[in-house]
Amino acid sequence: MNFQFFKINLNKLLIITGAIVLVLIVIFIFWWNKAIVISNGISVINKDQTPKSSITGLDCPGADVRPMAVMLASDPEARPISGISQADMVIEMPVDPTGITRFMAVFQCEKPKEIGSVRSARDDFIPLAAGLETIYAHWGGEHGALEKLNSHIIDNIDAMKYEGTVFYRKAGIRPPHNGFTDLNLLTKKAQDLKYDFKNSFPGYPHQEKEPKKNLSNLTDRININYPGPHAVSWIYESGTNLFSRYRNDSAEIDKDNGQTVKAGVVIVMNTTSKFLKEQYISVNVQGEGVAQIYQNGGIINGKWIKDASQPDSKLYFYDDSGKEIKFAPGKIWVEIVAQ
């Protein structure tokens, strides 16, 4: 027997076997620790296979699905609002000279049983809805808003066209506060209208872990001085690292689930407004202005920027050094304060 030949082939076999084992180990490690950025750059899948919301940074099974923005009342007669605590992002701003505010609630990760009361489209909310790449749901609208929507600036679902099928009126509630819908109805209509369901919002950056607190900028209360019954306070709870929402010293409750409205990030977006005819105001939501970002029990002074030449541009938030702010993972509320 040629022992030298046997020894050479044995060495080759050991080398080949070792290489195969090494490749298998690398594949296993990659599979076990994978944190794959999906090709569109929006959602992140971690090792438990749960994608993250591009808005909140929280686990979100529907992270690749296009968000739905719904216009909601803020009036005392409409409270408590159904579904409001389950929105991933809510933008509130004044809509008339008396200071009445309205909400645009953006839904992606949670599906409330009912959403309402649904109210009209307003011109100044449309660029914000477009910047989040949402489908925009509303009950009619003021003249300027409907003109924009009729020009197909954004995919939208109008209750004036679909009352009784997608939207409905509830007995025992005084109009116009009795209009409601749900995400299943809205999704079905969006499918009928052949709207694109792929989430194309580029997202907000999020902190991977809670930073050390800066003792010089801690805050446990945020006051938003909307007039009369629309005044808002947010109270920080260190145990949950969340802010709870209050109006007139009473917790804001979601009628759909009985839960207090909470947010991981509260942003005060300062801007200007002007009077229009027919008791409307125009709020400037494009351009730039001062902002205060509240998260992790502290405040960051910065600014907001939204490209006025592109209605569908993202609304950015930067710190004083010019870096885009990384948000704490959590639901986001933007409180627009107009002078």
pTM, entire model: 0.85
Domain coordinates of the chain in residue numbers? 3-33, 62-339
The whole-number average pLDDT for the span 41-63 is 77
Does residue 11 have a pLDDT over 70? no
Q: Where are the alpha helices (DSSP H) in 96-141?
A: 126-131
Q: How far apart are CA 151 and CA 138, in angstroms?
A: 16
- CATH fold for the domain made of 62-339: YerB-like fold (3.50.90)
Residue in 46, 80, 74 with CA at minimum distance from that of residue 61:
46
Q: Which residue has the tokens 């802010």?
A: 243
Question: What is the structure's pLDDT at 321?
Answer: 95
Confidence of residue 212 (pLDDT cuts 50, 70, 90): confident
Residues 6+ apart with CB under 8 A from 188: 166
Strand (E) or helix (H) holding 9:
helix 3-32
Strand (E) or helix (H) holding 148:
helix 143-150
Does residue 124 have a pLDDT over 90? yes
Confidence of residue 169 (pLDDT cuts 50, 70, 90): very high
Cα 338 off chain centre by: 21
The tens digit of pLDDT for each residue in 70-114 reads: 999 999 999 999 999 999 999 999 999 999 999 999 999 999 999
C-alpha distances in angstroms, 77 versus 20, 139, 176?
A: 70, 17, 10
Residues 6+ apart with CB under 8 A from 27: none
